Amino acid sequence: MARTLAFFGAFNPPTRAHIDLADFARKTVGAEDVIFVPSKSVYILDEQKKGFAFSDADRIEMLKTIAANRPWMRWTDIEMKQPEQPKTYHTLCMLREQGEDPALLLGADKLPELDQLWCYVQEMADEFGIVCMDRADMDCETLIRESPFLTSLHMQVVHVPDTYKNISSSRIRECLFHLHSLRSELQSLLPPELGTMPADLMKNR
């Protein structure tokens, strides 16, 4: 098994599920560490059609903060530095050129996309290896077994706990937007001198 798992994604923002399941996969396959590879914010907005994207700098800072106390976790802004969003295979090659020994780590939700939407999948499987994290609502092994293309790939399946199935970046963004909206409404209802003092005081109740 490769020394490093390369975990690609928006991480918009990174969640407990991203972190805990990456560590679980790392331990399961015997890798030394996981390197998080966030994509460019312009790609998240223009290609993935997300309604909001934290800036490249903000997402790197979040990953950097999380990694500070996790020796197994690393991050790179290698994709953010490229003029255009690179293909995953090309990024894996760039990581290899930097001395890394990466295998691709992905979630089961990506499996249906590999045949039609991804490029150089066979090359990634042959040269780097693919580790797929199962999900409670998606059975990796069934998806692979029913697809001649997926069956042909060198792929290792990791069955992860379903504790995190309701945790997603989109849900976090939704909560943050509601929080921002409620804070703005609260400020409009209170005398300006109080700011958000009542809400702050209630935290201790």
Give the tens place of pLDDT for each residue, 85-143.
Answer: 999 999 999 999 999 999 999 998 899 999 989 999 999 999 999 999 987 677 888 88
Asked if residue 110 and residue 184 are part of one domain, the reply reads no
- Same domain for 24 and 109, yes or no, is yes
Same domain as 184, residue 89: no
The CA–CA distances, whole Å, from 198 to 2, 75, 86, 93, 182 equal: 53, 39, 48, 54, 13
pLDDT at 204 over 80: no
- Domain of 33 in residue numbering reads as 4-166
Tell me the whole-structure pTM to 2 decimals. 0.85
Number of domains forming the structure of the chain? 2
- Asked whether 29 and 1 are in contact (CB, 8 A), the reply is yes
What is the pLDDT at residue 40? 97
Residue 37 has pLDDT above 80, yes or no: yes
Are 121 and 144 within one domain? yes
Going by C-alpha positions, the residue among 104, 112, 142, 91 that lies closest to residue 5 is 104
Q: Is the dihedral of CA 178, 40, 108, 33 positive or negative?
A: negative
Same domain membership, residue 174 and residue 153: no
The rounded distance, in Å, linking the Cα atoms of 153 and 161 is 24
Pair 203, 134 in one domain:
no
* Residues 169, 175, 179: CA angle, nearest 5 degrees: 145
Cα separation, 18 vs 47, in Å, equals: 22
